[in-house]
Amino acid sequence: MTAPIAPDVEVRALLSALASQRRHVLGIIDGLEERALRQPALPSGWTCLGLVQHLALDVERFWFGAVVAGDKKVIAALDDGADAWQVAPGASAQEVLDRYRAETTLADAVAEQLPPDTPLAWWPHHLFGEPHLHSLRDVLLHVITETACHAGHLDAARELLDGRRWLVLS
């Protein structure tokens, strides 16, 4: 049995930054009741729960499972036509939050095994043309940015829902 590969220092640093943004996502919605998690936050109709499901499926699973790892099962699941922003009425908030946590764990496991310059394993040219990202490093930076952006959306939604704010410095 071989020992697992120790994650690259740069990859560890990027995963640490990503972990901070993931904690923010979960922290800002902590304590919201199911009704509030499903309440549309903007005229477009997105909900806090839908945003978390989007992060789980369209961000963590897509970028790490499909693009970086090239997992054929993950790639096949992408073609199901489902809109990740729409949470099924029968899915509980806990199920969506657990799915997000599970996808982040799987994403970390993929990234921890690779050097930062690892090229993409797969890209959906038929949907997006030529890739604008080219390595694990690029993907990590992109996912950190997207997760931070969506954490900010959740900050605004939470303040509108009940007035709670995240890390207020005065």
From its phi and psi, is residue 83 left (phi > 0), alpha (psi between -120 and 50) or beta?
Answer: beta
Residue 1 confidence (pLDDT)? 59
Question: pTM here?
Answer: 0.93
Q: Exposed, middle or buried: residue 65 (CB in 10 Å: 0-12, 13-18, 19+)?
A: buried
Cross-strand partners of 119: 135
Residue 38 confidence (pLDDT)? 97
Residue 122 confidence (pLDDT)? 98
Residue 166 confidence (pLDDT)? 84
Residue 79 confidence (pLDDT)? 73
Residue 167 confidence (pLDDT)? 77
Residue 121 confidence (pLDDT)? 98
Residue 94 confidence (pLDDT)? 98
The pLDDT tens digits for 9-47 are: 999 999 999 999 999 999 999 999 999 999 999 899 999
Residue 4 confidence (pLDDT)? 58
Residue 3 confidence (pLDDT)? 55
- Domains delineated in the chain: 9-162 (1.20.120.450)
Residue 2 confidence (pLDDT)? 60
Query: Please, where are the H alpha helices in the chain?
Result: 9-29, 34-37, 48-54, 72-78, 93-112, 125-128, 136-162
Residue 168 confidence (pLDDT)? 72
Under-70 pLDDT residues of the chain: 1-6, 169-170
